[in-house]
Amino acid sequence: MLQTWRKEIDDSLNRISGDIKSALSEVQLEMQSLRTEQANLKSGLASVTKDITELQSAAQFQSEEHGHIERKVRELEEFKKGVLGTANLVSTLEHKIDSLEQQAKQCNIEICNVPDKRNENLLSILDWLLTTQSRTKM
C-alpha cells in the first residue's frame, strides 16, 4: 500500500510538474509575444514622436514666416502712407506752382509789334522802346 500510495504521489507530482511546465511554457510564449508587441509599439511610438517633432518644426517655421509676412505688410502699409503723403504734397505743390504762375502772368506786360529774340534782356528792350518813342515824339 505504501508503494501504491507513493506511486500515486509520484504520478500526481509528475502530472503537477507537467502542468507547471506546460503553464510555464505558455507564460514564456506569452511573455515573448508581449515583448514583440512592446518592441512594435516602441518603434511605432518612435515614428509618432518623429512625426510630432517634424510637425512642431513645420509649425515653428510657419509661425516665423507668418511673423515675417506681417512685418512686410506693416512696412508696405507704412510705405503706402508715405507715398500717399508724398502724392498729396506733390498735388499741393502743383497747385501752388499753378497759382504762382497765374499770379506772375498777371504782372506781365505784353509788348506788341516787337520781335521776339532768344535770351533777350527786358531792360534793354524797355530802354530801346523808350528811346525810340521819345525820338518819334520830338
pLDDT recorded at residue 12: 93
Whole-model pTM: value is: 0.49
Q: Any idea where the domains of the chain sit in the sequence?
A: 2-109
Rounded-to-integer distance, Cα 85 and Cα 88, Å: 5
CA-to-CA separations, 64 to 31, 53, 75, 104, 118, in angstroms, rounded: 48, 16, 17, 59, 66
Given a contact cutoff of 8 angstroms between Cβ atoms, the answer to whether 129 and 111 are in contact is yes
Q: Which letter does DSSP use for residue 114 in this model?
A: -
- What lies within 8 Å, CB to CB, of 114 at 6+ separation is 125, 129
Give ∠ CA 108-112-114 in degrees, rounded to 5.
105
Residues contacting residue 111 through CB under 8 Å, at least 6 positions apart: 125, 129
Q: How far is CA 112 from CA 59, 115, 118, 127, in A?
A: 81, 8, 16, 15
How confident is the model at residue 138, as a pLDDT? 57
Q: What is the pLDDT of residue 22?
A: 95
Q: What are the pLDDT tens digits along the chain (138 aa)? A: 888 989 999 999 999 999 999 999 999 999 999 999 999 999 999 999 999 999 999 999 999 999 999 999 999 999 999 999 999 999 999 999 999 988 888 877 776 776 777 787 878 878 888 888 777 765
